[in-house]
Structure 1
Amino acid sequence: METVKAARIGQVLAESDLIVIGASNGLDMAEGLNLFCADAHFREAYGDLAQTDGIGCILQGLASPDANVRRRWAERFYQKEYLEYEPSPLMNGLRHLTEHADTFVITCNIDGRFARAGFDENRVLETEGSIRTSIDERRLAHPDAFATAQLEELARLVQVHRNGRVAILELGVGLRNGVIKRMLAQIANACEHATYIVFNYSQAMVPDASCETILVEGDMALAFEEVVRCRL
């Protein structure tokens, strides 16, 4: 990423009163967790289960029609991706760049890593639930009491800061994840001074929002390293 672009992103984040982070599988992949393939991490952490159950990727194990298989994979996933998780330089950099502002996270990732990395879990809306509690892809369609309270907190923050400086960070959100993209675009359009920043390995697309937009393609971990360096 060009130094000028990295410096602009760092400036936007430093000057923001509210930062809304939208994160999907691309963020997990940038940290080395891929739910969709049998990579080295899969073979090391799940190889024995994969051989026993005939499973080809983490997602297949978590979504197995066999309840016993699902339970085994959920227990292993909880152990490996939540309890044993150590925040990467990418996640630590993200927290460092946002901790000065009111920050709210919207994520479909179910591994609970934002809470483990020190983000306020009351401001981390996990749209498909979490391995910490329960996984439910319909959570936004039928919000529980905690999700309802989080949505109300997000609405309050947007109202409080709608005339201030607001940064939207879209992190690894694929084209099929319309829910998070729509939520982020609505927030950007509701705020007078918003900047929308998209990090995506190969699908950095202009959002449906009328505001300054910065697109960053390529390795998200390397890009965040550059942004952090520019802020030092």
Structure 2
Amino acid sequence: MFSKIWTKTSTKNYSEQIKCLQAALQECEAVVIGAGSGLSTAAGYTYTGERFQKYFADFAEKYGIRDMYSGGFYPFPTQEEFWGYWSRYIFINRYMDAPKPVYEKLLRLVADKDYFVITTNVDHCFQKAGFDKKRLFYMQGDYGLFQCSEPCCRKTYDNEIRIRKMLEEQKDMRVSAELIPYCPICGKPMTMNLHCDATFVQDDGWYRASQRYKEFLEQHKGLRVLFLELGVGMNTPAIIKFPFWHLANEWENAAYACINLGEAYAPEEIEAKSICINEDIGVALQKLIDRGSVQDIF
């Protein structure tokens, strides 16, 4: 669909891009937000460095794990150890608040707009920040849900009570056998509801959210729609980035904006209707807020 020279960064300076994004937010009739891991990273949900050492220094010493993400694939010899790691992982990345209020800043900018969010993030930050649950599509799952590891059915289960209990009672990086979750239907061990492989469960809530997203796009086709991409890289571009590019290209009145430190670009085909801001997302959102509310700028 796009030319071989398929991406290009903007020649406009930072201030001009911020001003253009403010204008786009002011003038659009709807905003479709596409969020990747870079948005949560900007909010302080980092998986390496000081944060990893703060919460997982004991696992690093005993098992040689060097970051939270790779630790999720470690072949723990027992379920007690497996859930010792994952209960801590889920708690700090799902039930603890993000260190920085980046999601709250985003909501402040779009709260009065007709918006919808599609995200590959699984940390529930949008809902915790106050975004409308019925305007969210968590495409890749949710740390807050268990599913059967088989899986034997298309069901998921809230895990907050069990996770908190695991965290409170674990000793020596292990949970007690009594706290290990098993599927109430087939008895197989539970696992996280994450899109890591073909066992990922798309439950009824997933399908309802998917349908709402499709209906939102159908209802706003032809209107002035801003596709706002935040922190999306090239790991899974087919979920957000490529569809946003395609729709911005196909819809005459649509515009595309991308905020992503080091990865802000757009295809040449939509360059004229694109806003690319190469900046930390939290910093850029604060710039928008500091310039005044979107409604009062122009």
CA pair 48-146 structure 1, distance change in 2 beyond 3 A: same
Give the CA deviation at 1:61.
Answer: 1.9
Give the CA deviation at 1:40.
Answer: 0.8
Q: Is the 8 A contact 1:185 1:208 kept in 2?
A: no
1:40 aligns with 2:40: no
Match of 1:172 in 2: 231
Which residue of 121, 132, 141 maps to 1:109? 121
Give the CA deviation at 1:103.
Answer: 1.8
Which residue of 191, 198, 201 maps to 2:261? 201
Match of 2:194 in 1: 135
Q: What is the CA deviation profile of residues 42-84 of structure 1, one whole-angstrom value per residue up to 9, with x for unaligned ones? A: 1112222332332111111222233544422321122212222
Give the CA deviation at 1:104.
Answer: 1.7
Which residue of 42, 55, 67 maps to 1:57? 67
TM-score (norm 1): 0.87
Match of 2:22 in 1: 10
Match of 2:215 in 1: 156
| Larger Cα-atom Rg | 2
1:220 aligns with 2:281: yes
Deviates more, 1:110-119 or 1:50-59: 50-59
Q: Is the 8 A contact 2:232 2:260 kept in 1?
A: yes
Give the CA deviation at 1:121.
Answer: 2.5
Deviates more, 1:53-62 or 1:69-78: 69-78
Q: Is the 8 A contact 2:137 2:213 kept in 1?
A: no
Provide the alpha-carbon RMSD of the alignment: 2.4
Partner SS state of residue 254, structure 2:
strand
Matched pairs, number: 229
Q: What is the CA deviation profile of residues 144-174 of structure 1, one whole-angstrom value per residue up to 9, with x for unaligned ones? A: 3222221211111112111222111111111
CA pair 208-105 structure 1, distance change in 2 beyond 3 A: farther
CA pair 107-167 structure 1, distance change in 2 beyond 3 A: same
Q: Is the 8 A contact 2:45 2:99 kept in 1?
A: no
Mapped to 1, the partners of 2:269 and 2:75 lie a distance apart of: 40
TM-score (norm 2): 0.69
| Structure 1 gap segments, 5+ residues each | none
Q: Is the 8 A contact 2:33 2:228 kept in 1?
A: yes
Q: Is the 8 A contact 1:158 1:191 kept in 2?
A: no
Mapped to 2, the partners of 1:227 and 1:214 lie a distance apart of: 14
Give the CA deviation at 1:9.
Answer: 0.8
**One-letter code of the match for 2:283?**
L
Q: What is the CA deviation profile of residues 89-135 of structure 1, one whole-angstrom value per residue up to 9, with x for unaligned ones? A: 32111001111122222222221111111112333222221101122
Percent identity of equivalent pairs: 26
**One-letter code of the match for 1:175?**
M
**One-letter code of the match for 1:176?**
N
**One-letter code of the match for 1:120?**
D
Q: Is the 8 A contact 1:175 1:203 kept in 2?
A: no
- Structure having the higher helix fraction is 1
Partner SS state of residue 12, structure 1:
helix
Partner SS state of residue 60, structure 1:
helix
| Structure 2 gap segments, 5+ residues each | 1-12, 146-192, 294-298
**One-letter code of the match for 2:70?**
Q
Q: Is the 8 A contact 1:110 1:126 kept in 2?
A: yes
